[in-house]
Amino acid sequence: MEEMTKHGAVGLAALKAGMDRKTARKYIAAGTLPSAMRAPRDWRTREDPFAEHRDEVRAMLRETPGLEAKTVFELLALKYPDRYAPGQLRTLQRHVRAWRAAEGGEREVVLAQRHRPGEAAQTDFTSTGELAVTLAGEAFVHLLCVVVLPFSNWLWATVCRSESMAAMRRGLQRALFQLGRVPQYHQTDHSTAATHRIPEGKAAAEGERGRWRFNDEYLTIMRHFGLTPRTTEVGAKEQNGDVEAGNGAHKRRIEQALLVRGSRDFASAEAYQLFLDGVARRANAGRGPRVAEELGAMRVLDVRALPEFREEVAQVSEWSTIRVKDCAYSVPSRLMGEVLQVRLYEDRIEAFYRGTLQLSCERLVGRKQRRIDYRHVIWSLVRKPGGFARYVYREEMFPTPTFRRAYDALQARLPGLAGDVEYLRILHLAASTLEADVEAALGLLLAESGPLTSERVKALVAGERRPTVPEMPALVVDLSEYDALLGRVGT
């Protein structure tokens, strides 16, 4: 239309507008915009397969608003066999969605919140299976304890193995000491680390039916740092929405950093944590002004860090084991009947007897797990080999698959007690020397056709451990050089 007012040439105006001459002439004759000429469509391109039962569908939805379209479709197909095909489900889903938008009941609205600087920190745990991180070539199954300041979206992530109280304590205080400041509130969801549900009977007696309480240990941490605990409503994870949303974004950020790094393998958990700290620092650097505003609104952190462990006592049983958090750990048999002081870290346990460390190992995750070291019980098994066949911890006596293959080979040649005795002698040798040397010897003997015996294993291990004495030529001493030297000194 602008071009037509300039020169009145239809062909030139159509060319500059990028349309056909006939189309341009139509718009000029109509004297209106193309969008105003488009009439709404009031006809169907194909027949509605649910027109016959539309009222019935609406009645079902009014009576039971929670029904999904797929359930309604299955009810219709059951009631009217051979009437509906699976490919028509999408059509019904569009009908149900349109009906709910036009005539359905009110829906719950998510109320966006205005965060105040320095008011609260939110903590949540998130899984990391999609990152496929390994430590020294072994798959590293772990979680991240993520702490977020909602106003600025400042974030800090700590590696942990479970959603335990120890993990939350470590993750929270790492974040607080990184900030050097403390907000007013600390918010979590209803994780078992922070809260527990009051039993029905006790809740009814106290007039708190259906209520939740904070755990005593969690409250101790809150008091230490001067934080006021608060939690989300049950089933309302959107109330922790900032940290929930931050989890996904931060894992994508970690994924990109891993791609840039070119490897997902780390030498240790400590090296991996340093890598994560670097990723978080780079992300937080872009939030400087709002982070500064948050820091200005928080009080200074003026307390020491809490110990990253809790202490318990455990008595060593006659099985040479202690039970910690419903899991069994073996200890040296000389400690049977004694009481040990056990430190429970988030990722490991340490057991002390009169201040001396007796056991340090990875902490078991879950309940009714067990970690039995054959070195702690092998001496008793050698003396009483008849107990091996039905030993409760028998499977733990095979430290590697090679040892299991060796036992099977011995049982095939010497069934019963004789095979057990030979295997226990081999295991005793591993406890007395080096397990790796014994495993290497077993591998060589299993690959050969000859019989596997404890004596042959012992001979191979002794040969591997015997040092090689280098051959050196005898030194020839020429004293004439000393005479010449003394002669020069005398002159």
Q: Which domains occur in the chain, in start order?
A: 2-37 (no CATH), 51-103 (no CATH), 120-300 (3.30.420.10), 310-371 (no CATH), 375-465 (no CATH)
Neighbours of 76 (CB within 10 A): 18
- Tokens 């991180």 locate to 133
Contacts of 330 (CB under 8 A, 6+ apart): 319, 320, 321, 371, 372, 373, 376, 377, 393
Confidence of residue 8 (pLDDT cuts 50, 70, 90): confident
Handedness of CA 478, 481, 484, 485 (dihedral sign): negative
Which of 333, 329, 391 has the alpha carbon at shortest distance from 361? 329
Q: What are the pLDDT digits (tens) for 40-75? A: 666 566 788 888 888 888 888 888 888 899 999 999
Higher pLDDT, 232 or 423: 423
- Banded pLDDT at 202 (limits 50, 70, 90): low
What is the average pLDDT score of the chain? Answer: 86
Q: What is the mean pLDDT of residues 384-411?
A: 94
Q: How far is CA 148 from CA 82, 121, 155, in A?
A: 55, 6, 5
In the structure, what pLDDT confidence band is assigned to residue 488 with cuts at 50, 70 and 90?
low
Question: Is residue 111 over pLDDT 90?
Answer: no
Q: Residue 255's pLDDT is what?
A: 95
Alpha-carbon distance of 439 to 399, in angstroms, equals 10
- Tell me the pTM: 0.66
pLDDT of 193 over the 80 cut: no
Distance between CA 340 and CA 336 in Å, rounded? 10
pLDDT interval class at 25 (50, 70, 90): confident
Q: How far apart are CA 358 and CA 312, in angstroms?
A: 15
Give per-residue pLDDT as tens, 140-190. Answer: 999 999 999 999 999 999 999 888 888 999 999 999 999 999 999 999 887
What is the band of 209 on the pLDDT scale with cuts at 50, 70, 90?
Answer: very low
How confident is residue 335, by pLDDT bands cut at 50, 70 and 90?
very high
465/473 Cα distance (integer angstroms): 25
The pLDDT tens digits of the residues spanning 286-328 come to 888 899 999 999 999 999 999 888 899 999 999 999 999 999 9
Among candidate residues 222, 232, 125, the one with its CA nearest the CA of residue 188: 232
User: Is residue 204 over pLDDT 50?
Assistant: no
Q: What is the DSSP string of 376-393?
A: GTHHHHHH-GGGSTT-TT
